[in-house]
Amino acid sequence: MTTTFVHGGLVVTPDGKHHADVLIDGERIAALLAPGSTALGSDLRSTADVVVDATGKYLIPGGIDAHTHMQMPFGGTEASDTFATGTEAAAWGGTTTIVDFAIQKPGERVLDALESWHAKAAGQCAIDYGFHQIVGGVDHDALKSLEALVAEGVTSVKLFMAYPGVFYSDDAQILTTMQQGAELGVLTMMHAENGIAIDELVRQALARGRTDPVHHGLTRPWQFEEEATHRAIRLAEVAGAPLYVVHVSARQAMARIAEARSGGQNVFGETCPHYLWLSLEEQLGAPGFEGAKWVCSTPLRSRSEGHQDGLWQHLRAGEVTAVATDHCPFCLNQKELGAGDFSKIPNGIGSVEHRIDLIYQGVASGKITAEQWVRVCSTEPARMFGLYPRKGVIAPGSDADLVVYDPCGRTSIGVGKSHHMNMDYSAYEGWEIEGKVDTVISRGSVVVADGQFHGRAGHGKYLKRGLAQNLT
Ligand code: URP
Ligand code: ZN
Ligand code: ZN
Ligand code: ZN
């Protein structure tokens, strides 16, 4: 088996930082050694098959992006990254695991849907991957399939309080899924926005000739996110079920989550880099059709209302469980499906390659600590989605998923198509930011080093996930 020795790095965990050298045997971490202290360490620098010098750099567990949509069908088109292109881009950015969403539409069988997502991903991924299951049509058959999902390693289902007529679940469907999930240990993930009320505002806006992308945000006010989040929390409380609210963008919604957590409920909140950095005024509200690049749901929110600062404060206070990308990229010609009608713009932002860098900006600017960065980008998603301690930690026995991160490096995003996602623009075009992914190791294989991709489609394995490990 190949031995790999990573020496000189400052290991960052959610609990602190310490210098350690890491010995990898095959796909797993064999040992952490005190740096320079042993003859073994200096021996390994000459005897290991592969030697990675992490001197002066951070060594962090590989990133886990628990929310991606590779080649997802949406509004008559399909997200532009395939499992092959999207996982390669993820690897470039220090993410070594994704959890993507298999989608069951009303009338389809859940297990058939899962099988078709397996067919899309099998043999294509450059990094390890798992699945959540979107249940777009909760019925007797769908509820019965939850047990089989657990056996398949799919231990979380996503429901939608938005998109009536597409994926929408009513409160009874949500309640019964939560009840059934609670019995089996299945985690309910929620897209929490009041879709019925949103659709009425959309109808009114279009009737008044308000067709620009900014109206996507204006017809999805924070009150509808906060209301749905609160309703989901109460439904989960009555069902005795854990709840994970995806892509939270309103500070008031995150405050509801924090409140429920401090009251002892198993409620968890996820946010995304774009809700922390971008806004309705600056991006979604760009002149003409430009704002279409930033149409996603929940929407980018107003900076003057304090959402971005509020989310950073919740992150800093430890109330945010995970930062995921909700990676759902569309090229400009796909976004143009909504020219003249914002409601037809495919929803989604692509950033799977830049999550680690973008959240590192919170460390560089003193908003959060390096420990918190690792917690929300890797360790806590691993615990939430039944991957710990195989993933999310640098410890003997764990998969050797490691990122050497250079805090003194710099990353240019989007400039001259410097990214690897299958998109013809970037949501962060022209950003010059601090920090740089230096070397990425996925299950013992160096997949990114010296500015080169050394991985391959098919290296990534399907992860059968266990139950959530962070419930009280
Ligand atoms: O705009 C988004 N978020 N697109 C992906 C689908 C979803 O609701 O997560
Ligand atoms: Zn060393
Ligand atoms: Zn969603
Ligand atoms: Zn999503």
ipTM, two decimals:
0.92
Same domain, 192 and 124: yes
Q: Is residue 472 part of a domain?
A: no
pLDDT of the residue at 38 = 67
Q: Give the number of the atom of ligand 1 that is nearest the alpha carbon of residue 163.
A: 8
Please give the distance, rounded to the nearest whole angstrom, from the Cα atom of residue 128 to the centre of ligand 4: 19
Same domain, 18 and 101: no
Q: Which domain holds residue 279?
A: 62-385
pLDDT tens per residue across span 144-195: 999 999 999 999 999 999 999 999 999 999 999 999 999 999 999 999 999 9
Is there an atom of ligand 1 within 6 Å of 426 CB? no
pTM over 0.95: yes
**Token pair of 247 as six digits:** 């892509």
Same domain, 291 and 167: yes
DSSP 48: S
What is the SS3 assignment for 111? helix
Same domain, 178 and 285: yes
Q: Is residue 464 part of a domain?
A: no
Is there an atom of ligand 1 within 6 Å of 195 CB? no
Using left for φ > 0, alpha for ψ between -120 and 50, and beta otherwise, residue 392 falls in left
Residue type at 145 in one-letter notation: S
pLDDT of the residue at 157 = 98
pLDDT tens per residue across span 346-381: 999 999 999 999 999 999 999 999 999 999 999 999
> Does residue 153 contact residue 465 with C-beta atoms inside 8 Å?
yes
> What CATH code is carried by the domain that includes residue 50?
2.30.40.10
Ligand 1, atom 8, residue with closest C-alpha: 297
Q: Is residue 458 part of a domain?
A: no
Q: Is residue 209 part of a domain?
A: yes
Q: Is residue 463 part of a domain?
A: no
**Token pair of 74 as six digits:** 């949406």
Same domain, 242 and 217: yes
Ligand 1, atom 4, residue with closest C-alpha: 348
**Token pair of 140 as six digits:** 């007797």
Please give the distance, rounded to the nearest whole angstrom, from the Cα atom of residue 254 to the centre of ligand 1: 18
Domain boundary among 346, 365, 385: 385
Same domain, 41 and 136: no
Same domain, 161 and 262: yes
> Does residue 90 contact residue 121 with C-beta atoms inside 8 Å?
no
Q: What are phi and psi of 399, to 5 degrees?
A: -60, 140
Q: Is residue 461 part of a domain?
A: no
Which residues, in sequence order, are bridge partners of residue 59? 11, 404
Is there an atom of ligand 1 within 6 Å of 296 CB? yes
Q: Is residue 118 part of a domain?
A: yes
Same domain, 49 and 74: no
What is the count of structural domains for the chain? 2
Same domain, 226 and 284: yes
Same domain, 167 and 307: yes
Same domain, 370 and 406: no
Same domain, 103 and 227: yes
